[in-house]
Structure 1
Amino acid sequence: MSSSPSVVGEGGAPVIELGLPVTGGSHQRSTAGTAGLATSDAERSERFAQMRAGELGSLHSWELVTAVDGPGTRLTTFLAGCPLRCLYCHNPDTMEMRRGEPVLAEELLRRIRRYVPVFGVTGGGLTISGGEPLMQPAFVARLLRGAKELGVHTAIDTSGYLGAHCSDAMLADIDLVLLDVKSGIPETYRRTTGRDLQPTLDFGRRVAASGTEIWIRFVLVPGLTDAPENVDAVADYVASLSTVSRVEVLPFHQMGRDKWQGLGMTYELADTEPPSPELVARVRQQFRDRGLTVF
């Protein structure tokens, strides 16, 4: 990925200039925002140094949720910033790092400590999502290391596009990767996200080679990602990853449409209907035909 250097926005968090609108996410959320977390009041120069060191991150929101972002009850943190421009994104307000709040890693880890007993009872843990968590690799590495020191199960929810930002040490601190494979055909992937498919494929193979568990997420959008040959390409790739334990086929919805309009962004899928039950069943069967466990 090519981009210009980080700069500091009016709110104090860095903005990554990527040359196109950037968005992320694939699920409807009702979050706590940053409620209950102290935000940094450091000067901008100090904040920038803290972010480079992984001590400070740009946080969009957090929530405590069960059976959505990994096993058990999860504390899911949504970081701000993403290099993709997914046409179906329902959280375009996570598209820029400057839209988040500056939160110290230690502040989030204090919150995680509060829920360690809950994680122990439910088999849950920490999930780092976005946006795209690998936009802030130093911050994510600090959170993962801190969570593992607490004995907490860890997961990241990523497109894999910035997989090169995930060091081997960081990968060793991840118990589960929720990998969003948005298309299996490069042209469809670029149409869907504005970016190239290959980095996602490379990251998934690297994760599998490490022995780390993978859950696959595929958003089914009629007229965009639903072509049988595109689904076959995704399913063939997923079947080649030895550590995939679960595939989630996520039907497209319109719940983010108002956010796009509120941000003054053009929403290209305004006339797209959710997939029919028959289409969802067909696509899930394409994955099952390869011996995969599908939800």
Structure 2
Amino acid sequence: MTHAEHVAAVRAGDVGSMHSWELVTAVDGPGTRLTVFLAGCPLRCLYCHNPDTLKMKDGEPVEVTELLARVRRYLPVFRATGGGLTVSGGEPLMQPAFLGRLLRGAKELGVHTAIDTSGFLGAHASDRLLDDVDLVLLDVKSGLPDTYQRTTGRQLQPTLDFGRRLADRGNTIWIRFVLVPGLTDAPENVDAVADYVATLATVARVEVLPFHQMGRDKWDRLGMTYELADTPAPTPELVDRVRGQFRERGLTVY
């Protein structure tokens, strides 16, 4: 394939940039999931545990037909477990044409679909694309704009706007919030996230994810400065407090 042909294939959504894929259970949505990690992300989260997915050029070219053939191979597993396809990253909305083709193909196979997104690029998702999404795993990384900027290097508002759009459309949402001591754990920051989430009628659950150091080695291997090297995991008491802040709003919390 020539460079021009490759560019045309990318624009058409025939070819994407993929970091990896894995088969997981009860992690990225209901049942057993084929989780596809696309390459490229506009955020620079201080706690990112997949910094090797940040640049699209570092991924491997993959044809949408190849991934759909893999989805088809696991149809018996999905049917037996109530699972399906989850597209994560990186940030899947960095590649909306490819993502749209992948989701459409999965729905044509009768497969449950989910995307794992920060929502920062929510404007890239057309209504047609979102019609093919059964579940959105929405990572709301902070509730206060200054904390969001510190955590991700980006602005909070696009995520808030995308979440409201999803709720207005009727898309089912699972909220994910990473609890990082000294960064996202301030009561007022958690309250801001919880207050916002409570306004979204289609949120089925909130997952409070305790910070861990498992991605640190990747940062070291990539020669990147890891600012959270001395940050501890949250204590059970802190996790309970934060989960309680969400439960106070009547939300189902894990």
Q: Which TM-score tier does this pair reach, normalised by the shorter chain?
A: over 0.9
Q: Determine helix, strand or coil for the equivalent of 1:164.
A: helix
Name stretches of at least 5 consecutive residues in structure 1 with no aligned partner: 1-41
Residue of structure 1 in register with 2:137 after alignment: 178
Q: Do residues 206 (structure 1) and 165 (structure 2) align?
A: yes
Q: Do residues 253 (structure 1) and 222 (structure 2) align?
A: no
1:119 aligned residue (53, 78, 88):
78
Q: Which amino acid aligns with 2:63?
A: L
Q: Which amino acid aligns with 1:156?
A: I
- Deviation, 1:43, is 2.7
Q: Determine helix, strand or coil for the equivalent of 1:290.
A: coil
Q: Do residues 232 (structure 1) and 191 (structure 2) align?
A: yes
- Deviation, 1:44, is 2.4
Deviations 1:191-239 (A, max 9, x none): 0000000000000000011111000000000000000000000000001
Q: In structure 1, how many angstroms separate the alpha carbons of the residues matched to 2:99 and 2:195?
A: 30
Q: In structure 2, how many angstroms separate the alpha carbons of the residues matched to 1:82 and 1:50?
A: 20
1:141 aligned residue (89, 100, 103):
100
1:103 aligned residue (52, 62, 69):
62
- Deviation, 1:99, is 1.1
Residue of structure 1 in register with 2:5 after alignment: 46
Residue of structure 2 in register with 1:287 after alignment: 246
Residue of structure 2 in register with 1:191 after alignment: 150
Q: Which amino acid aligns with 2:160?
A: L
Name stretches of at least 5 consecutive residues in structure 2 with no aligned partner: none
- Deviation, 1:187, is 0.3
Q: Which amino acid aligns with 2:140?
A: V
Residue of structure 1 in register with 2:121 after alignment: 162
Q: Which amino acid aligns with 2:246?
A: F
2:37 aligned residue (73, 78, 81):
78
Q: Which runs of 4+ in 1 moved over 6 A?
A: none
Deviations 1:20-72 (A, max 9, x none): xxxxxxxxxxxxxxxxxxxxxx2322111100000000000000111000000
Residue of structure 2 in register with 1:32 after alignment: none
Query: In percent, how many aligned pairs have the same letter?
Result: 79
Q: Which amino acid aligns with 1:153?
A: H
Q: Which amino acid aligns with 1:256?
A: G
- Deviation, 1:264, is 0.9
Q: Determine helix, strand or coil for the equivalent of 1:155.
A: strand
Q: Please show how residues 21-32 of structure 1 align to structure 2 within 5 Å.
A: none
The structure with the greater share of residues assigned to helix is: 2
Residue of structure 2 in register with 1:266 after alignment: 225
- Deviation, 1:117, is 1.4
Q: In structure 2, how many angstroms separate the alpha carbons of the residues matched to 1:282 and 1:43?
A: 56
- Deviation, 1:261, is 1.1
Deviations 1:48-97 (A, max 9, x none): 11000000000000001110000001000000000000000011000100
Q: Which amino acid aligns with 1:253?
A: H
